[in-house]
Amino acid sequence: MNFEFGIKDIIDITLVAILFYQLYKLFKGTGVNNIFIGILVLVVVWFFVVYVFQLELLGAILNKVMSVGIIALIIIFQLEIRRFFSMLGSRHQWDFLQRFAPKFGAKTDESSDSMAVAQVVMACRHLARSRTGALIVVAGKTRLENQIQIGETIDASINNRLIENIFFKNSPLHDGAMIIENKKITSVASILPLSQSHFIPKHLGLRHRAAMGISEQTDAAAIVVSEERGSISLAVHGELTINISPDDLQKILSQGYI
């Protein structure tokens, strides 16, 4: 059996490896991580059976399994597929264009951005000290129109005192999430989708599950202030960081979120 191995094959294998690595990163920390690994093993076995050893009978069976399995994959990975295309179609594309924006005369007000980030971080610091629960969603490139429409729509500048007052326990708007989009507080008392991940610690409440849920479906960053522990948590791309420091929170939010 003769094999011709050239530069095209190296490029092909490299691209496939990168694709599977990015998919693994996407599914890491979710409830379907082990399922993805099992499917990856099946794909490798199918490749060797059909294209390397060329076993006709077993290859025909695996071909049928692979063709029918596409429908099952869409059902199993429905949430992850939605999240993947959301990240692919919005975040990476616009980040690439923004690199060239200064060359064509586009200007960004970095001082106002840093001030807005500082206001959010300051509010979270004060809320944590007073053990006041809060859920703040900072939109990325994906619009959060559905969540904004569900809540109370407002149009306010980002101010730490306003954020603290909204989440004050006696405030009628303290339940639900605050959404920050386009450097404005656009909505309060919004309802977010809850994550079904089994990797969220059981002692965490609905705010953390809601933060994970919105971060799984969009590229937003969700901040949770726990009233029980007085700690700050951050959910980004389906990964939850518990007890994040205000300084680390400011660094992450400064990376294009506000």
**Between 1 and 241, the higher pLDDT residue:** 241
Q: Each residue of 104-160: pLDDT tens digit?
A: 444 445 566 789 999 999 999 999 999 999 999 999 888 888 888 888 999 899 999
118 and 238 share one domain: yes
pLDDT band, very low/low/confident/very high, at 174 (cuts 50, 70, 90): confident
Nearest to 145 by CA among 88, 89, 190: 190
Q: Residue range 199-219: average pLDDT?
A: 89
Determine the pLDDT at residue 236.
92
Query: Looking at the domain assignment, is residue 94 inside a domain?
Result: no
CATH number of the domain to which 167 belongs: 3.40.1700.10
- Do 230 and 118 fall within a single domain? yes
User: Looking at the domain assignment, is residue 142 inside a domain?
Assistant: yes
Q: What is the mean pLDDT of residues 190-212?
A: 89
Pick from 187, 179, 190, 185: nearest CA to 150: 190
pLDDT at 94 over 50: no
- Identify the sign of the CA torsion 91, 96, 99, 105: negative
The model's confidence at residue 54, banded by pLDDT at 50, 70 and 90, is confident
Same domain, 69 and 153: no
250 against 70, higher pLDDT = 250
Mean pLDDT of the chain: 81
Would the pLDDT of 184 be above 90?
yes
Q: Are 83 and 238 contacting, i.e. CB atoms less than 8 angstroms apart?
A: yes
Q: Which residues form the domain of 53?
A: 7-76
Q: What's the CA gap between 227 and 239, in Å, rounded?
A: 21
Question: What is the distance between the alpha carbons of residues 195 and 148, in angstroms, rounded to a whole number?
Answer: 19
pLDDT at site 57:
85
Nearest to 81 by CA among 23, 146, 143, 41: 23
Q: Does 139 share its domain with 224?
A: yes
Task: Please give the pLDDT value at position 136.
Answer: 97
pLDDT at 99 over 50: no
142 and 22 in one domain?
no
Residue 103 pLDDT greater than 60, yes or no? no
Q: Are residues 70 and 172 in the same domain?
A: no
Give me the torsion for CA of 108, 219, 20, 60, rounded to 10°: -130
* Residues 133 and 244 occupy one common structural domain: yes
With beta carbons less than 8 A apart as the criterion, state whether 244 and 125 touch: no
- pLDDT at residue 90, rounded to an integer: 53
What is the domain count for the chain? 2
Is this model's pTM higher than 0.95 or not? no
Task: Find, among 116, 166, 139, the residue nearest to 222 by Cα.
Answer: 139
Bridge partner list, 235: 222, 240
